[in-house]
Amino acid sequence: MIKFEPRSDCNYKTEYLRIFDDIRKKNISEVQAFRALILDDLWFIVYFVLGIPVSNHPFWVNACREVEDGPSDFTLDVWAREHGKTSILTIAETIQSVLNNPDSAIGIFSYIRPVAKKFLFELKQSFENCSVLSKAFPDVVWRNPKRDAPLWSLDEGLVFKRKTNRKEPTISAWGLTEGMPTGLHFERRVYDDIVTEDISDSIDTMEKVKDKFDSSQNLGTDGGTHRVLGTYYHHNDPLIYIRDKKNLDGKPLYTLRHKPATDTGTANGNPVYLSAERFESLKYTRSFSCQQLLDPTPAATRRLSSSLLKTVKKSTVPDTVQKFMTVDPAGDDKDGKGDSWAFMVVGIDPKQDEIGASDVYIMDLCITPMSMNEAIDSISRMYLRNGIIIQLGVEKVALSTIEIHIASALAAQGRVLSTDYQNLVILRPAGRKKTNRIESALTWPLYNGKIHINEEIPKVYRERLGNEMDKFPYWHDDGLDALSYFYDMINDYHLGWYSEDFEIVGKRPKDGYR
C-alpha cells in the first residue's frame, strides 16, 4: 500500500524492490520477509510500517543506519527539530525492540508524564492500526489489543504477548518531575523531551529534572540500555548536563550524535533535510538558533566574550594596585543546587591611560555552590590571604544578614569591618535589572582590554567566569554579578592621585592620574 521509488543518493540497507519482486513471484513468504525486515531494518519500519513518506531522504536513511551501527546504550541524540529523531528512536526503534524482546519492559520518560504519554499514544496507535505488525508477529502482537491485552491504556501501559509474568508493562510512559515510577525496572529506557521551552525559563525546574534524571538510572536493569534525545533550549539545560558528564577516565560518558539543520551548523550552511524555503522561513523565528542550529547562544548575539579577558602572571600585577573584594551570595537555595556563591578580590591600578581607563586585575576568585557556613569560611580565608583590602562589598537583597556573618567571622580573626569605618560596603541592585547592570559595567572595560585575570586562580573558576561571559545573558551570571559590583564600589570610592614622582605629596602633579 506504500508507494516506493528508490533514490540513487540513499544508502538503503536492503534491496527492497528485489524482495518485493520475490514475494510477488512467491519465491519467499510475505510474512517471513516482512518479519525479517522489521526485526533488522530500522528504516523499513519508519517508511513502510509507520508510513512516513518524507523519510525517503538521504538524511533519514543515513540517520537510521547510524543508529543501527552505533552504540545502543549511553547515547545522546541532539538533532534539529523536524529531523525525525522521535520517529526513529522513540517510535520505530521501540517497536523493533518490543518485537525482538517481547518479554522485556520499556519505559519512556519525559519531564512530565503527559508529554511521555503522547509518545505512548503514537506507539499504541501504530500497533492498533498497522495490520502488518499483527500479521507478521502473531506471537507478540494482539490482533485486537483493546479486547485481548491484559493492559492496554496510556495510564497503565501496553502489555504484549509474553512467556513470562512480570509487573512491568511491555511499554509504559512516565514523568521525571511528576509521575516517576517506584519499584519498576526497565531493560530499555528512552528519555525524550526531558527539556522543553516550557521549562527552559525556570532554573529550578531544570535542576529538578537533572536530579530526577540521575535518580531514574536506578530504574534500569543489569545489561539494560537507555537513550536520551532532544534539542537544546538553554546553556544549562538537562541535555547540556548529560552531554558534559564524564566517566572516571575523564572521557564523555555519553556518545553524542549532534545533527544541526545545516551541513556547517551555521545559518549560512546548506540544509541537510529541510527544503530551502522551509529553512529560510524558520530563520525569522526566535527559536531558530536553538531549534535548528542547536546553539542557544550564537556568536553574533553574544554581548561579552571571554577571549577579551587577559590572563596575566601574578608577578606582573603592579605593586600599586588597590584591592577590593566583592561577594555575590547564592539565592535562597543554599544546598548547592541553585545559584552559586561568587566572591573575588579585584585590584585596580590608579593609573589611567590615554582614554582615561585603569587596568583591573581579578586576583582571587571562587564561583561554586556551597552552604552558608562553607561560604562564610571561604570568604574569610580569601580576605585574609590577600593582604590589605580597602573595602569588602556584600550584595544585600531584602532582609539578608550575610554581611553581619562575614564581619563576625573576620572579627574572630582580628579584622574589624564596619559600615561606619567604610571598609564594609553594602551593595544593592538599586532597582537595576541584573543583565543591564552587568552589561553596562563590563562591556566597555572588557572590549578595551582593561580586565585581567590571575593565571594562578584555579582553572575551574577561570573557566566558569569565561563560560558566564560567552553565554551571557542566557546562563548563570554569579561571577559577572560580583565583578560588576566592583565597578559600583570604585565609582563611590575616591581613589587618591597617583604619580611616579613620589616627592610630590598632597598636591596634584601635572602628570598625575586619577
Report the distance separating Cα 234 and Cα 290, nearest Å: 8
In three-state form (DSSP H/G/I as H, E/B as E, the rest C), the secondary structure along 209-246 is HHHHHHHHHHHCCCCCEEEEEECCCCCCCHHHHHHCCE
36-63 as b/e, with b when 16 or more CB fall inside 10 Å? bbbeebbbbbbbbbbebeebbbebbbbb
Instruction: Single out the residue of 482, 441, 486 nearest to residue 330, CA to CA.
Output: 482
Task: Give the pLDDT band (50/70/90) at residue 202.
Answer: confident
Cell of 374: 562553607
Burial class (CB in 10 A: 0-12, 13-18, 19+), 501: exposed
Q: Are strands 106-110 and 310-312 parallel, antiparallel or unpaired?
A: unpaired
Higher pLDDT, 399 or 98: 98
The top-scoring range by mean pLDDT among 197-211, 214-228, 234-248, 427-441 is 214-228
pLDDT tens sequence across 117-172: 999 999 999 999 999 999 999 999 999 999 999 999 999 999 999 999 999 999 99
pLDDT tens sequence across 80-89: 999 999 999 9
Contacts of 305 by beta carbon, 8 Å cutoff, 6+ apart = 446, 469, 470
CA 79 vs CA 54, 228, 245, 282, 361: distances in Å: 17, 11, 19, 15, 41
Instruction: Single out the residue of 77, 81, 58, 80 nearest to residue 67, CA to CA.
Output: 77
Residue 97 reports pLDDT greater than 90:
yes
Report the distance separating Cα 90 and Cα 413, nearest Å: 60
Which residue(s) pair with 229 in the sheet?
Answer: 77, 192
Residue 362 DSSP code: E
E strand intervals along 391-433: 391-395, 424-427
Residue 501 reports pLDDT greater than 80:
no
- Give the architecture (CATH level 2) of 306-492: 2-Layer Sandwich (3.30)
Residue 514 reports pLDDT greater than 60:
no
**How many Cβ atoms are within 10 Å of 392's Cβ, its own excluded?**
25
**How many Cβ atoms are within 10 Å of 502's Cβ, its own excluded?**
8
* Predicted local distance difference test score (pLDDT) of residue 509: 47
Tell me the domain boundaries of the chain: 1-68, 71-259, 306-492
* Predicted local distance difference test score (pLDDT) of residue 494: 66
Report the distance separating Cα 407 and Cα 415, nearest Å: 8
Q: Domain 71-259 is classified in which CATH homologous superfamily?
A: P-loop containing nucleotide triphosphate hydrolases (3.40.50.300)
Q: Tell me which of 117-121, 281-285, 419-423, 429-433 is least confident.
A: 429-433
Residue 267 reports pLDDT greater than 80:
yes
pLDDT tens sequence across 352-383: 766 667 899 999 999 999 999 999 999 999 99
- Are 478 and 238 spatial neighbours (Cβ–Cβ below 8 Å)? no
Q: What is the dihedral of CA 465, 469, 474, 478, to 10 degrees?
A: 40
- Are 186 and 168 spatial neighbours (Cβ–Cβ below 8 Å)? yes
CA 448 vs CA 282, 305, 355, 360: distances in Å: 36, 12, 10, 11
Instruction: Single out the residue of 393, 386, 375, 406 nearest to residue 490, CA to CA.
Output: 393
* Predicted local distance difference test score (pLDDT) of residue 285: 85
Report the distance separating Cα 435 and Cα 107, nearest Å: 41
Report the distance separating Cα 511 and Cα 26, nearest Å: 100
Which residue(s) pair with 391 in the sheet?
Answer: 324
* Mean pLDDT value across residues 435-444: 90
Cell of 213: 534524571
* Predicted local distance difference test score (pLDDT) of residue 355: 63
Contacts of 209 by beta carbon, 8 Å cutoff, 6+ apart = 111, 176, 177, 194, 195, 199, 238
Q: Report how far apart the first and last C-alpha atoms of the chain are (Å, whole number).
A: 83
CA 64 vs CA 47, 120, 128: distances in Å: 11, 21, 24
Report the distance separating Cα 391 and Cα 256, nearest Å: 47
Residue 414 DSSP code: T
- Are 187 and 224 spatial neighbours (Cβ–Cβ below 8 Å)? yes
Contacts of 430 by beta carbon, 8 Å cutoff, 6+ apart = none
CB hemisphere CA count around 246 (13 angstroms): 4
Q: How many angstroms from the chain centroid is the CA of residue 15?
A: 41
